[in-house]
């Protein structure tokens, strides 16, 4: 609690809260964001940016009651949030007491809309995680029906995986809970390192069969392992002062055997991934990091969709084990300087299938292929392990992981080839 109070104090002194703010609204003409003296009627429920406006204009004492009385409006705001730029402007316009009241009343809202500072989201999401786990344990211990208990056990196991992933130690890095959905299959994203200040940021996007319960710990450890490798390479290149962050992103509901052939999950993933990256770019508008997206399997199709359909750009893209691209060529993607790379391990039956579009590994696509078969590192002389099949691209000591790490720090010129 003492740490939270310190953090809240730092917000109040570090951020300059403007008296008024103009926000573009989905109406004509645009409505001004007026000062606190013009508080909105809590009974008039609106959506999107206007709903955020309304919350900002309420007296602090009314926020909790408003949230409690309007759960559908809050859920809709989480499901369809305004643009990160608008969220950031809204958050910076609010008084500290109002922010704290909203975080206490609706941690799921504060923790899951892009444009709010990551440290604030971490506090909100950890609060929600702890309270939900305690509630589920109480349900399991109570005198309720067997079906209710079994469902609670499943949800608790899923959330325990997130807690376990957060508790693991990284090389001099904190772990931040950036995204949390405690319902159903669940969604989560964990940052390893300082995303607010890192020079290099890598988002890792998983594919089919990756669940929170089964793979959150593995995926977070894989992101941490890749980050450690990036730090080692930066030191070798004489750039030890540069900092690195990685995001283990399971920010969508990955497909299973019942829906693996559908694009519905990919549409969800592309929207969520685009918002996530644009949220970072909003918060780092004056200090942009080098951003790399590393996407595996079905997740690569979703990432390729996001980099085709949305107008943001990243610095490099890695796709491994890809079942297909909606874009016809790497040049169609919003990736700077053509830094698109593809990895295909031997006996990976998903690659070359082009099930969801063009084959990113085909020469005509224009991506740069990198080695996955192992051998000797031409720079260090170390032995590199071969990746085999669909799931070994991120295994320790592999040629694949070595190349992915280099691409993520802008050193694609040093990747090895087959």
Express each pLDDT in 371-380 by its tens digit. Answer: 999 999 999 9
For helices 146-167 and 118-141, the axis angle rounded to 10 degrees is 140
Write out the DSSP string of 346-388.
BT-SSTT--TTSB-TTSGGG-PEE---S-EE-TTT--EEBPPB
Q: Check residues 407 and 258 and name the one with the higher pLDDT.
A: 407
For residue 352, pLDDT beyond 90: no
Residue 119 half-sphere exposure toward CB, CA atoms < 13 A:
12
The mean pLDDT value for 354-369 works out to: 95
Residues in the chain: 418
Whether 23 contacts 34, CB under 8 Å: no
For residue 363, pLDDT beyond 60: yes
For residue 395, pLDDT beyond 90: yes
The mean pLDDT value for 352-364 works out to: 93
Could you give the domains of the chain? Answer: 19-110 (no CATH), 169-414 (3.40.50.1820)
Q: N- to C-terminal Cα distance for the chain?
A: 53
Check residue 165 and give its pLDDT. 96
Question: In angstroms, rounded to a whole number, what is the distance separating the alpha carbons of residues 235 and 91?
Answer: 38
pLDDT class for 353, splitting at 50, 70, 90?
Answer: confident
Residues β-bridged to residue 245:
201
For residue 102, pLDDT beyond 60: yes
For residue 169, pLDDT beyond 50: yes
Residue identified by tokens 């720090």 is: 409
Whether 162 contacts 155, CB under 8 Å: no
Question: In angstroms, rounded to a whole number, what is the distance separating the alpha carbons of residues 64 and 98?
Answer: 10
| pLDDT tens, residue by residue, 39-54 | 334 444 456 899 999 9
Contacts of 272 (CB under 8 A, 6+ apart): 187, 251, 252
| pLDDT tens, residue by residue, 107-118 | 999 999 999 999
The mean pLDDT value for 137-153 works out to: 93
Find how far residue 185's CA is from the centre of its chain. Answer: 16
Question: In angstroms, rounded to a whole number, what is the distance separating the alpha carbons of residues 403 and 255?
Answer: 27
Check residue 9 and give its pLDDT. 37
For residue 246, pLDDT beyond 50: yes
DSSP conformational letter for 247: E
CA distances 262 to 253, 273, 307, 326, Å, are: 12, 18, 19, 14
Burial status of residue 334 (CB atoms within 10 A of its CB: 0-12, 13-18, 19 or more): middle
The mean pLDDT value for 273-285 works out to: 98
**pTM of the full structure:** 0.88
Check residue 345 and give its pLDDT. 97
Check residue 36 and give its pLDDT. 30
| pLDDT tens, residue by residue, 198-228 | 999 999 999 998 999 999 999 999 999 999 9
Alpha helices in 27-117 (DSSP H): 48-57, 60-69, 71-79, 84-93, 96-105, 107-110
> What is the rounded average pLDDT for all residues in the chain?
89
pLDDT above 90 covers a percentage of the chain that reads 83
For residue 25, pLDDT beyond 70: no
For residue 417, pLDDT beyond 60: yes
pLDDT class for 170, splitting at 50, 70, 90?
Answer: low
């Amino acid at each position: 609690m003492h740490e939270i109070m310190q953090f809240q104090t730092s917000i109040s002194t570090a951020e300059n809260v403007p008296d008024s703010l103009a926000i573009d609204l989905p109406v004509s003409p645009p409505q001004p964001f007026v000062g606190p003296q013009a508080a909105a009627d809590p009974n008039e429920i609106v959506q999107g940016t206007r709903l955020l406006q309304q919350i900002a204009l309420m007296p602090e004492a009314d926020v909790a009651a408003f949230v409690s009385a309007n759960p559908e409006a809050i859920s809709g705001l989480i499901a369809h949030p305004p643009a990160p730029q608008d969220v950031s402007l809204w958050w910076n316009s609010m008084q500290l007491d109002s922010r704290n009241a909203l975080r206490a009343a609706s941690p799921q809202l504060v923790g899951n809309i892009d444009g709010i500072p990551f440290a604030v989201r971490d506090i909100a999401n950890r609060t929600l995680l702890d309270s939900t786990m305690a509630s589920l344990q109480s349900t399991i211990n109570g005198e309720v029906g067997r079906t209710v208990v079994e469902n609670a056990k499943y949800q608790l196991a899923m959330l325990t995986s997130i807690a376990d992933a957060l508790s693991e130690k990284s090389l001099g890095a904190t772990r931040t809970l950036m995204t949390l959905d405690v319902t159903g299959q669940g969604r989560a994203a964990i940052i390893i390192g300082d995303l607010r200040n890192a020079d290099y940021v890598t988002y890792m996007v998983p594919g089919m069969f990756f669940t929170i319960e089964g793979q959150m710990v593995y995926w977070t450890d894989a992101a941490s392992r890749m980050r450690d490798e990036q730090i080692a390479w930066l030191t070798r290149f004489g750039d030890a002062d540069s900092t690195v962050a990685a995001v283990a992103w399971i920010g969508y509901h990955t497909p299973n055997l019942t829906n693996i052939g559908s694009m519905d999950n990919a549409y969800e993933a592309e929207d969520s991934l685009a918002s996530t990256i644009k949220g970072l770019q909003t918060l780092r508008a004056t200090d942009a990091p080098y951003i790399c997206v590393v996407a595996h399997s079905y997740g690569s199709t979703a990432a390729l969709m996001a980099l085709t359909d949305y107008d943001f750009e990243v610095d490099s893209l890695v796709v491994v084990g890809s079942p297909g691209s909606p874009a016809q060529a790497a040049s169609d993607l919003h990736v700077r300087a053509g830094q698109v790379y593809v990895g295909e391990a031997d006996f990976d039956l998903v690659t070359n299938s082009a099930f969801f579009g063009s084959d990113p590994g085909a020469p005509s696509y224009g991506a740069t292929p990198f080695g996955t078969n192992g051998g000797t590192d031409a720079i260090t002389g170390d032995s590199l392990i071969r990746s085999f099949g669909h799931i070994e691209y991120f295994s320790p000591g592999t040629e694949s992981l070595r190349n992915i790490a280099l691409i993520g720090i802008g050193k694609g010129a040093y990747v090895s080839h087959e």
